[in-house]
Amino acid sequence: MSMIIITAVFAALLALVLGFALGFFREFFAVEQDPLAGLVREALPGANCGACGFPGCDGYAAAVASGKAGTGNCPVGGKAVAEKLASLLGTGAVSVVPVVTALVCQGSKVHAPLKGEYTGLATCRGAKLSSGGTKLCAWGCLGYGDCVAVCKFGALSIGEEGLPVIDREKCTGCKVCVAECPQELLREVPRNLTGAMAMCSNRNPVKSMVMKTCKKGCIKCELCVKNCPEQCIVMDNGIPLIDYSKCTSCGTCVEKCPTKVLKLLKTQNQNSVVQSA
């Protein structure tokens, strides 16, 4: 019994000594924190998404406080946070353009046939690396939801057609999903942008092959280019590219497109987040 008591007392004394030692070393080797960095950190939303280009909100706060980063790098906080940071630093307000994510693919499981049965890792990146993709369209959305998995705001889900559906009210424009998509089908679009946009990434130059691989693919007929009254559309690597400085949202290209690839950004689309009128 005495041995148990001695052991317990020794353990308590050792714990006390170690506690004092840890406290001493913590104070002795403590790195002085910049008070401004703390204030900046409090103003940030705390998403730690990395969209600012720094490892989380702490990293961005330290960079802002030291003058190594601007006040408008946080897409999640947007204009409100940029104004708070500018006020803390005593600098002028920074112009922040709110963005939202758009999916440039309409190749649902109804419109884009599969190559065959896939039994590998059920992720977009896994399917891309192991088999080059699961659909006949090499550029189409694979639909396994890698983008959904990385979204910290619940703005993405896989719809009944097997394509990502983006909730524009929840989307913060953090661009994490954009970076995650192995097919590069998610794009950031300014929320106030108007005009037409091609919701397709199929760059196959052969019309018959496009129609075989996706019924919603761009068949390169160039009717949009030929009929645009503002002459603001050109074909870029097989995909219509719109000059938004000239586009008037007249909708002519949308009407002329035989496969309905072009959509107006001022309308709401099920499979892509677009600006409402």
> What are the structure tokens assigned to 198, written together?
């091609």
Q: What is the largest CA-CA distance in the chain?
A: 98
Q: Are 98 and 78 in contact (CB under 8 A)?
A: yes
Q: Is the pLDDT of residue 31 over 80?
A: no
Beta bridge partners of 55: none
pLDDT band at 271 (very low <50, low <70, confident <90, very high): very low
> What's the rounded Cα separation, in Å, for the pair 70 and 52?
10
Q: Which amino acid is at 83?
A: E
Domains in the chain (CATH in brackets) are: 35-89 (1.10.15.40), 99-264 (3.30.70.20)
| Alpha carbon separation from 160 to 183, 202, 236 (Å, rounded) | 20, 22, 31
pTM value? 0.77
> What's the rounded Cα separation, in Å, for the pair 264 and 233?
14
Provide the pLDDT for residue 4: 76
pLDDT in tens, 3-21: 777 777 777 777 777 777 7
Q: Is the pLDDT of residue 270 over 50?
A: no
The secondary structure element, H or E, covering residue 196 is strand 196-198
Q: To 5 degrees, how large is the angle CA 226–CA 230–CA 235?
A: 45
Residue for token pair 């219509």? 240
Q: Is the pLDDT of residue 138 over 60?
A: yes
Mean pLDDT of the chain: 88
Q: Is the pLDDT of residue 26 over 90?
A: no
Kindly state the DSSP code that residue 182 receives in the 8-state scheme: T
> What are the structure tokens assigned to 104, written together?
């440039």
